Structure 1
Amino acid sequence: MTDEPLDLARLSAMEPGRATRLLSGVRAAAFAGRQPRLAPRKVIHDSWQRVRLHGLDPEQGAHAGLLGLDEVEHRRRSSPLGTVLPTLREGLMAAAEEAWHMMVVTDAEGRVLWREGNQSVLRKADQLGFGVGASWAEETAGTNAVGTSLVVRGPVQVHSAEHFVRAYHPLSCCAAPVLDPRDGRLIGIANLTGPAPAITPATLALVTAVAKLAEGELRERHRESVDRLRSVAAPVLARVGGRALAVDRNGWTAAVTGMLPPDRVPLPKSFQAGRCWLPPLGVCTVEPLPEGWLLRLDDEGPDGAEQRAEPSRVVLDLRRPRQPGLSVAGAAGRWAQELTPRHAELLYVLARHPEGRTAAQLAEDLFGDPARTVTVRAELSRIRRTLGGVLDHRPYRFADRVRVELLTPPDAAQLLPHSTAPALLAARATPSPRPTKPVTGQPN
Structure 2
Amino acid sequence: MPLVDDDLEHRRQASPLAHVWPLLRRSLANATSGPSQLLFLSDAEGHLLWVEGEHATLRVAERAHLLPGALWSEDAAGTSGVGTTLATGRPFQVFGSEHFLSAATAFTCTGTPIHDPGDGRLLGVLDFTCAARDWQPLAVALLDTARRLAVSELGASRLREEARVRTRYVDRLAKRLGTRSAIVAPDGRVVHADPPGWLPSRLPGKPAEGPVLLPGGQAILVERLSAGGLFLVTAGSDLDGFAVDPVLRFRGLGRARAIVEVAGTTHELGRRHSEIVALLLAERGGMNAKALAAEVYGPQGRPITVRAELARLRAVLGHRLASEPYRLTEDCEADFLDLDRDLSTCPADVLLDRYPGPLLPGSTAPGVVALRARLAERLRRRVEGSGDADTVIRWEGSPHARGHGT
Residues of 2 paired with 1:108 and 1:139: CA distance?
13
| Residue matched to 2:86 | 150
2:14, 2:180 → 1: CA distance? 34
Between structure 1 and structure 2, the one with the greater Rg is: 2
2:49 is aligned to 113
2:205 is aligned to 266
Q: What amino acid sits opposite 2:213 in the alignment? A: W
| Distance in 1, Cα, partners of 2:215 & 2:189 | 16
Task: Supply the distance in 2 between the matched residues of 1:298 and 1:252 (Cα, whole angstroms).
Answer: 22
Q: Secondary structure at the match of 1:80?
A: coil
The reply to whether residue 294 of structure 1 matches residue 233 of structure 2 is: yes
CA separation in 2, counterparts of 1:107 and 1:134?
A: 11
1:12-63 deviations in Å (ceiling 9; x for gaps): xxxxxxxxxxxxxxxxxxxxxxxxxxxxxxxxxxxxxxxxxxxxxxxxxxxx
Alignment of 1:85-100 (within 5 A): 85-98=21-34, 100=36
1:267/1:280 CA distance change after superposition, 3 Å: farther
1:274-353 correspondence to structure 2 within 5 Å: 275-279=211-215, 282-286=218-222, 292-296=231-235, 298=237
CA contact (8 A) 1:252 1:265 kept: no
Identity percentage of aligned residues: 34
Instruction: Measure the CA separation in 2 of the matches of 1:289 and 1:121.
Output: 42
- Give how far 1:166 is off: 3.3
Match of 1:47 in 2: none
Residue 327 of structure 2 is matched in structure 1 by none
Task: Give how far 1:118 is off.
Answer: 2.4
Question: What per-residue deviation string (whole Å, max 9, x for no partner) do you get for residues 207-248 of structure 1?
Answer: 122122111111101112222344453797799999764324
1:411 is matched with which residue? Answer: none
Q: CA deviation at 1:184?
A: 1.6
Contact (CA 8 Å) 1:159, 1:173: kept in 2 or not?
Answer: yes
TM-score (norm 1): 0.46
Cα shift at 1:128: 1.4
Question: How many Å apart are 1:177 and its aligned residue?
Answer: 1.2
Amino acid at match of 1:177: P
RMSD across aligned C-alpha pairs, in angstroms?
3.1
Write out aligned runs for 1:15-414 (5 A): 66-98=2-34, 100-231=36-167, 233=170, 245-248=182-185, 251-256=188-193, 257-259=196-198, 261-269=200-208, 271-272=209-210, 275-279=211-215, 282-286=218-222, 292-296=231-235, 298=237
* Aligned-partner Cα distance in 1 for 2:188–2:6: 31
**1:154 offset after TM fit, Å?**
1.5
Question: For residues 106-160 of structure 1, what are the alpha-carbon distances to aligned partners after superposition, in whole Å with 9 as ceiling and x for unaligned?
Answer: 1111111111112333222211122211111112211111000001111111111
The total of aligned residue pairs comes to 232
1:185 CA drift (Å): 1.5
Amino acid paired to 1:144: S
Change in 2 beyond 3 A, CA 1:277/1:120:
same
1:76 and 1:278, CA in 2 relative to 1: closer, same or farther beyond 3 A?
farther
> Given the superposition, is the C-alpha separation of residues 76 and 284 from structure 1 closer, same or farther in structure 2, using an over 3 Å criterion?
same
The residue identity in structure 2 corresponding to 1:172 is: T
- Alpha carbons of 1:154 and 1:285: their partners in 2 closer, same or farther (altered >3 Å)? same
> Gaps (5+ residues) in structure 2?
239-406
Change (3 A) 1:241 1:73: closer
User: Matches of 1:134 and 1:281 in 2, distance apart?
Assistant: 47
Task: Give me the whole-angstrom Cα distance separating, in 2, the residues matched to 1:72 and 1:295.
Answer: 35
Q: Check whether the contact 1:246–1:255 (CA below 8 A) recurs between aligned residues.
A: yes
Gaps of 5+ in 1: 1-63, 300-444
Summarize the Cα distance change of 1:162–1:94 in structure 2 as closer, same or farther, 3 Å threshold: same
Q: Deviations over 1:270-316 (max 9, x none)?
A: x14xx4324576422457768531332659xxxxxxxxxxxxxxxxx
Aligned amino acid, residue 205 of structure 2: P
- 2:187/2:206 contact within 8 Å kept: yes
Aligned 8 A contact 2:20 2:153 in 1: yes
Give the 3-state SS of the residue equivalent to 1:67 in structure 2: coil
- Measure how far apart 1:180 and its partner are: 1.8
1:248–1:293: 8 Å Cα contact kept in structure 2?
no
CA gap 1:175/1:297 in 2 versus in 1, 3 angstroms: same
Cα 1:94–1:265 shift into 2, 3 Å? farther
User: What CA distance in whole angstroms lies between the structure 1 residues aligned with 2:63 and 2:31?
Assistant: 23
SS of corresponding position for 1:201: coil
CA contact (8 A) 1:176 1:191 kept: yes
Tell me if the contact between 1:229 and 1:292 (Cα under 8 Å) persists in the aligned partners. no
Asked if the contact 2:41/2:50 (under 8 Å) is kept, the reply is: yes
Distance 1:286 1:112, change over 3 A: closer
Query: Residue type matched to 1:292 in 2?
Result: F
Q: Structure 2-normalised TM-score?
A: 0.50
**Contact preservation (8 Å) 1:230, 1:255:** yes
Partner secondary structure for residue 222 of structure 1: helix
Residue 105 of structure 1, CA deviation: 1.0
